[in-house]
């Protein structure tokens, strides 16, 4: 496939492919129709033949080339599958496009300091485990690190001191930057303000701009309420101190934190399933 793509990428060779799609033709005629010199045309045809897209045979003094349809159909099928993947419901491209709309809107709105002050976001999730287990995932750094980033990021460094006045540091990297050699994607710092074990948690968290200053401050309140055998989690964000440069951060809050909570719900659901199997002595 790589050889085929390389062969077809050249405009002169692509012109020859289109001419051969009409009918088999000798080198001399192809050179005339392509308005090229015959030696150059011969080299292009040899490249296409090595890639498997054309074949040739000598007839008297002429060498006649013909097009193979199978490699082109295979390439078309691969491209079609790629396009279908991009258009699948829930594909990351849809999130990318949605985020792009948010970026443009927030950048237009960010005309002066304080432009987003008072903006609020609310997130609700029904989680399949009791508040005690949810609480651990909200306050213990190793468990927080499993879910506290959007899908395309991962935690690089995390400090969460679950006490009033406790320090919060969150550094994140690209999810596919496995060895940490790429640049830091972002960093946020904050302080825990209220701790009510198994019931509620409040903290403020500020993403940092490249110069180390605060982009804005998010005042985050999380409430846990028992619901049957599970927990209703209610999260409220309120923004203050927004700078003009904060537009890109703010554009990602709804999608990014929503994805984080979805990861938390999935982790808790998987953990709950594993616990149920263990408790009942079942096997998978």
CA–CA separation, 249 vs 217, rounded Å?
11
Phi, psi of 149 (to 5 degrees): -150, 155
Q: From residue 64, how far is each of 19, 24, 43, 51 by CA, in Å?
A: 13, 7, 14, 17
Percentage of the chain with pLDDT > 70?
Answer: 95
Checking if the pLDDT of 283 tops 60, the result is no
Q: How confident is the model at residue 92 (pLDDT cuts 50, 70, 90)?
A: confident
Please check whether residue 126 is in contact with residue 261, taking contact to mean a CB–CB distance below 8 angstroms: no
Mean pLDDT over 207-227 rounds to 97
Checking if the pLDDT of 274 tops 70, the result is no
Distance of CA 260 to the CA centre of its chain: 13
Checking if the pLDDT of 280 tops 60, the result is no
Every domain of the chain and the residues it spans:
2-73, 113-280
Checking if the pLDDT of 282 tops 50, the result is no
Q: From residue 240, how far is each of 22, 119, 204, 207, 250 by CA, in Å?
A: 66, 8, 10, 12, 11
The CATH architecture to which 2-73 belongs is: Orthogonal Bundle (1.10)
Percentage of the chain with pLDDT > 90?
Answer: 83
pTM over 0.85: no
Checking if the pLDDT of 217 tops 60, the result is yes
Using DSSP's 3-state secondary structure scheme, residue 272 falls into: helix
Q: How confident is the model at residue 8 (pLDDT cuts 50, 70, 90)?
A: very high
Third-level CATH fold of 113-280: Alpha-D-Glucose-1,6-Bisphosphate; Chain A, domain 4 (3.30.530)
Phi, psi of 250 (to 5 degrees): -65, -35
Q: What is the pLDDT of residue 275?
A: 56
Tokens of 48: 């296409």
Q: What is the pLDDT of residues 173-215, one digit of tens each?
A: 999 998 888 899 999 999 999 999 999 999 999 999 999 999 9
Q: What is the pLDDT of residues 49-80, one digit of tens each?
A: 999 999 999 988 889 999 999 999 999 999 99
């Amino acid at each position: 496939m790589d050889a085929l793509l390389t062969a077809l990428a050249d405009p002169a060779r692509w012109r020859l492919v289109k001419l051969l799609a009409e009918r088999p033709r000798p080198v001399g005629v192809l050179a005339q129709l392509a308005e090229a010199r015959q030696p150059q045309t011969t080299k292009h045809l040899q490249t296409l033949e090595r890639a498997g897209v054309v074949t040739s045979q000598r007839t008297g003094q002429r060498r006649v080339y013909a097009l193979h349809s199978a490699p082109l159909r295979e390439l078309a099928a691969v491209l079609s599958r790629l396009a279908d993947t991009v258009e699948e419901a829930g594909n990351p491209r849809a999130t990318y496009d949605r985020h792009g709309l948010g970026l443009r809107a927030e950048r237009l709105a960010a005309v002066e300091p304080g432009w987003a002050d008072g903006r609020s976001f609310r997130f609700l999730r029904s989680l399949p485990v009791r508040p005690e287990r949810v609480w651990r995932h909200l306050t213990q750094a190793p468990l927080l690190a499993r879910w506290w980033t959007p899908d395309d990021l991962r935690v690089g460094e995390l400090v969460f001191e679950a006490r009033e006045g406790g320090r919060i540091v969150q550094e994140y990297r690209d999810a596919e930057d496995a060895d940490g050699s790429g640049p830091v994607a972002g960093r946020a710092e904050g302080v825990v303000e209220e701790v009510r074990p198994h019931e509620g948690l409040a903290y403020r968290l500020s993403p940092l701009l490249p110069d180390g200053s605060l982009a804005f401050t998010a005042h985050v309140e999380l409430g846990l309420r028992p619901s049957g055998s599970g927990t209703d989690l209610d999260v409220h964000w309120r923004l203050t101190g927004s700078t003009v440069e904060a537009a890109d951060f703010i554009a990602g809050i709804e999608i990014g934190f929503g994805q984080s909570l979805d990861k938390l719900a999935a982790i808790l659901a998987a953990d709950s399933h594993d616990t149920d199997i263990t408790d009942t002595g079942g096997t998978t």
